[in-house]
A and B are shown apart, each in its own frame.
Chain A
Amino acid sequence: MILLTLAGVVVLVAGAGLALLLDRRPKWASFAGAGMAMLGCAAVFAASFRMLIGGDAEAIRWPWSMPLGAFSVALDPLSAFFLLPIAALTGLAALYGAEYLQSWTGRKSLGMAWFWYNLLAAAMILAVIARNGLLFLAAWEMMALASFFLVAFEDEQERVREAAWTYFIATHLGTAFVVALFALLAAQTGTLDFDAFGPISAPTSGLLFILAVIGFGAKAGFVPLHVWLPEAHPAAPSHVSAVMSGVMIKTGIYALLRMMTLLGEPQPWWGWTLIAIGLASGVLGALFALAQHDLKRLLAYCSVENIGIIALGLGLGVLGYTARSPLLAILGFGGALLHVLNHAIFKGLLFLAAGAVAHGAGTREMDRLGGLLKRMPWTGAAFAVGAAAICGLPPLNGFVSEYLVFFGGFLGGVSISGHFATAGFLAVAALALIGGLALAAFTKAFGIIFLGEARTEAAGRAHEPGMAMRFPICLLAGACLLIGFFAPVTVLLLARPIAAILPMGEHAVDGYLLAMAAQLRWFVLLAAVLAALLAALALLRSGLLAGRSVTERGTWDCGYARPTARMQYTASSFAQPLVDLFRAVLRTRRSLDAPQGTLPTKSASLSTATGDTFTHKLFRPAFGGVTRLMERMRGVQHGRVQLYVLYVALTLVALLVWRLGVARP
């Protein structure tokens, strides 16, 4: 299986090269790039799926002529579980991208775009299967570099350049921590091979854990390291946003999990750290998502929220492990893992749909859209499914994974004592609040964009994209339903990855998961009941209405004579009550141009914008402080040669005095 995975990587790299070579012929470049991407991803998907349902873990180790380096890769259930969404979503997004990028033919180098896309895919896969620190770092940085160039696809826009810059800085600073992490690990164990990392004693392992949380958290989008997400994801082409938001940030989660398996005995405070991060990321992510007007920004913040849910799951898992409660550990880790998969599916779906909207209607500004469901029925319906799934509504897939974490919290709160219970209740409260806020955010996104009437002419002329774009969207929507309805089967897939994380036998994990599957069977039953009820009600309704007058009119609107589309509730007005309630955190800026006089002649306007509080209140001031300090330092280079010589002289004298005067042996 590992060979098949590597073959996939080779195909991807070859696709990258081919796309670059064919750059002069955009059609061929697209064809080769997207085709090879799909082919490579299909191979990886097959390999990882085979692995998950019962293949043996395989490893390859080839020498790599680089000090400390070895080309050591392995496919174990944990890697396979992360490869599954990576391969699936990247392949589907490639198909989508083939059509999506067509409109740039001639204006942009499509060969370049596909080159980086395939490299990104290859790097993600390599990062997940790497078992050597240096190889991992190389893949990790390659991933950052490739996505950096993909984000900057439309580099003629200043906003995009800013976003690419911010993104690359964030990810590279994260890498600095990862470098420190691996350097420390290597110093502890004398090698960079993952297999050789022994258990590490307590204070050091804590330091390593912190480094891993910061380094990988920057990629995953933990608050407050998430600031690049809402910039970079909207800037990238939609299929790239889907891949970045759906799976690339998950490599951060993967790496964190992998490190945790290598660091030895976890401490309770690790779990608390993750829970705190999960709380902050989940709630703030949802709140910021709610306040956005740009659909892709909303989705980007929502990724922060979902990463928060994953972190909550991981935290509960760690606490469960330290509390010697296997069920809690399995629920936590299992929920987090399943949410990784689910989030990849629905976030991929939503970003692709957002791309279709931007493609069809020419804008992502929610307040300039509306009524798209009538013009884009497929995309709209799929978006509705994705929105419901991401809010964690039954019977869709989002509910299943959130349920596992939720139930873990409940279980921890009810049946374990001490601070574990507090963590459980915190998780329950947080998940409930996150769910409510996400619901508000996504009813807003779906309602304002797809329902009601078109707010602009462009939105009125929107159209469905072609098959290549529609197919992946619909397939992902299907996956949301499928996983939801087959939840009892899906959770069993988690057994092997969880067994790779927890020091428990596969059978023991299987036993617990079978119990969970039994619970989930009730949900399926209820979902079936729900479906049957809906069908019955629909039949009843159509039976009642048959033969009676069913007419269509304008919206009643409480008797207003001439309602216009612009009188509809807007995205900002929909979110206003919650945004106002949380204004202390959100710091939404309003600019009001109020009407003047009794009979206003000039048109008035009100606009709101919610930037990122962490960008504005934490990173800008911090960087600003450093900047000012450095600016002061610049005075050193003032142009006077005498003083330059003085520096040299003073350095010498200082050293001489130190050596002869102070440090005399």
Chain B
Amino acid sequence: MSASWLFIILLAIPTAGAAACLAARTPAAALWTVFAGVVLHATTALSAARRVLALGPMASNGEWFLLDALSAWHLIVMALVFVPASFYAITYFRDETASGALSLRLARRFGALWFGALGAMTLVLISNNLGILWVGIEATTLLTAFLICLHRSPTSLEAMWKYLIICSVGVAFAFMGTLFVAASASRTLEPGDALLWTKLLDVAGSLDRVMLEVGFIFLLVGYGTKAGLAPMHTWLPDAHSQAPAPVSALFSGFLLNSALYCVLRYLPILERATDYSGWAPRLLVVFGLISILISAAFIIFQHDLKRLLAYHSVEHIGIITLGFGLGGLGVFAALFHTLNHSLCKTLAFFSAGRLGQVYGTHDMSRISGALRAAPLWGLGLFASLLALIGVAPFAIFMSEFQIAKAAVDDAAYVPLALFLLGGGVVFIGALRHVVLMAWGAPPDGTRPERACSCEWLLVWLPLLALLGLGLWMPHSLYDALSQASAIVGGHP
């Protein structure tokens, strides 16, 4: 299979899937179509990623599309988020389809938009053209906006509007930044090539530095808005808390990462152009730390479960950004952390969603005794939150330790101290919430939860994966991470 065909298939599956969803006869059929399509897409993506990691990057004719280790790694993470989330959507919406709350129209819309998001994110990951990259990100914003208010309510509309406006503004900045980067190459590259990442990277040394740096500022603020970096994160808790749980899981699990991926693409160009002066990484460190600290403040006082998880996303995106900014081992750790966080956060949102159904609320003061009321999902929430706040031996602890190590390697003691401080505050706040939710006795009149056997897989597979990765890193994974981090590092 040639590279071009592969890219076409990767984009065609979501398109076809969306069309199939729109034609579905029952809500359940739409949901199953989603699942089938996503599995198909994931298989393709994973096999492509394997090939890339084994044999090196693939590019389409004209180099508009490119699949290298970095995008392959993100493809893997994306597959690991989309497949369980699609399956979870079936179980999550089961009651609603039964009661008719999820009408056929809504189910079709959900399926089509879900596929749309999949397609747009795939587009982001495989494009070598920075313009297309931008188009993909803008498309994710527009496609996912209506997923937030699948069930129309005043609050979900509010969240959707905020998401739409803030992210559109951000993405407009990113567009401006893309143009600046292209302009910085106007002296060295053919105009037609000025947006091709591979070409830009090749001539990075001769790019106009000021234009490039100004462009990066626009890009960082722009894509950072979408990625949920503080102080541009304000849309994030609203959107995450109002969206249906599968959508929240998707947002937190990969939407943010796909935006951060865009920033990553520019990082090696910047580093090469500035003689590895660390100018761009330093900005990343600053934004990472601000995100960690601000989210910590909001985690302590949170009273809504899904908003709590949303702020955790801000925190972890901050940690990942910090890792990228620190360079060296930090990049490796940040990429590892991306996987860990996505696995963990999807599980957390799955559990939060189902617990929300059990308790009829996401207000944490009214959730207690989750381990008794809904053993499976209580366990899922408890374990995933513990993992999220960095309890060993879950993999997040390992990646965070590596980031701390990277900070010391970089002699970045102030960031290290702030990182540990923020982590400590988050730990205190989140542990309090989870202890109060998981233990104790459930309030009277709580509907006991019926977990089907397949749901066990949804909880246990990510947990075991996190546990396993915390104790043992397979060689292939190490290899993939090394390849991907070499690309971000930008050293030729």
Contacts and interface: CB of A to CB of B under 8 A. Distances in A.
Query: Do A and B come from the same complex?
Result: yes
Interface of A: 64-68, 134, 137-138, 140-142, 144-145, 152, 155-156, 158, 161, 164-165, 168-169, 172-173, 176, 179-180, 182-184, 186-187, 623, 626-627, 629-631, 633-634, 636-637, 641, 644-645, 647-649, 651-652, 655-656, 659-660, 664-665
Interface residues of B, number: 67
Nearest to A158: B440
B12 interface: no
Contact of A145 (B170, B296, B392): B392
Contacts of A659: 213-214, 217
B439 A155 contact: yes
Interface in B367-415: 386, 390-393, 397-398, 401-402, 404-405, 407-409, 411
Given A161-B436, A641-B161, A134 B221 contact: no
A180 B213 contact: no
Contacts of A648: 166, 169-170, 173, 221, 225, 231-232
B232 A647 contact: yes
Interface in B433-480: 435-436, 439-441, 470-475, 478
A239 B405 CA distance: 38
B376 to A, nearest CB: 14
A629 B425 CA distance: 12
B432 A142 contact: no
Contact of B298 (A184, A634, A652): A634
Contacts of B235: 644
Interface stretch (B102-110, B124-132, B262-270, B416-424): B416-424
Contacts of A164: 435
A649 B214 CA distance: 15
B218 interface: yes
A161 B217 contact: no
B231 A647 contact: yes
Contacts of B473: 65-67
A168 B294 contact: no
Nearest to B299: A630
B301 interface: yes
Nearest to A656: B217
Contact of A165 (B210, B213, B217, B435): B435
Contacts of A176: 420, 423-424
Given A65-B475, A141-B393, A641 B166 contact: yes
Given A651-B231, A664-B210, 12 more contacts: A65-B478, A68-B405, A134-B398, A141-B392, A145-B393, A164-B435, A176-B424, A637-B237, A645-B166, A648-B173, A648-B231, A655-B283
A180 B408 CA distance: 8
A165 B431 contact: yes
B297 A644 contact: no
Contacts of A183: 401, 404-405, 407-408, 416
B300 A630 contact: yes
Given A66-B472, A644-B162, A665-B209, A652 B405 contact: no
A665 B210 contact: yes
Contact of A655 (B221, B432, B440): B221
A297 B31 CA distance: 56
Given A187-B405, A637-B298, A641-B161, A161 B435 contact: yes
B329 interface: yes
Contact of B296 (A137, A172, A630, A655): A630
B420 A180 contact: yes
B409 A187 contact: yes
Interface string B255-284: 000000000000000000000000000010
B98 interface: no
A182 B431 CA distance: 25
B interface: dominant SS: helix
Contacts of B439: 152, 155-156, 161
Given A134-B401, A142-B393, A648-B232, A186 B420 contact: no
B474 A647 contact: no
Contacts of B33: none
B404 A180 contact: yes
A627 B432 CA distance: 14
B94 to A, nearest CB: 28
Contacts of A66: 398, 471-473
Q: Identify which of A66, A68, A633 gathers the most chain B CB atoms within 10 Å of its CB.
A: A66
Given A145-B391, A168-B431, A187-B409, A631 B301 contact: yes
A169 B427 contact: yes
**Which 10 residue pairs are nearest across A and B when measured between Cβ atoms?**
A141-B392, A155-B439, A630-B297, A644-B234, A183-B408, A187-B408, A633-B297, A655-B217, A647-B231, A176-B420
A9 to B, nearest CB: 14
| Residue from A134, A142, A627, A641 whose CB has the most chain B CB atoms within 10 Å | A641
Contacts of B209: 665
B378 to A, nearest CB: 12
Contact of B472 (A65, A137, A626, A636): A65
B234 A647 contact: yes
B165 interface: yes
A630 B397 contact: no
Contacts of B423: 176
B16 interface: no
A655 B333 CA distance: 27
A665 B432 CA distance: 49
Contacts of B88: none
B444 to A, nearest CB: 15
A181 to B, nearest CB: 10
A186 B409 CA distance: 8
Contacts of B420: 176, 179-180
Nearest to B214: A659
Given A652-B217, A656-B217, A155 B440 contact: yes
Nearest to A652: B221
Interface in B304-320: none
B332 interface: yes
A366 to B, nearest CB: 28
Given A631-B301, A637-B234, A648-B232, A186 B405 contact: yes
Contacts of B169: 645, 648-649
Contacts of B297: 629-631, 633-634
Contacts of B470: 138
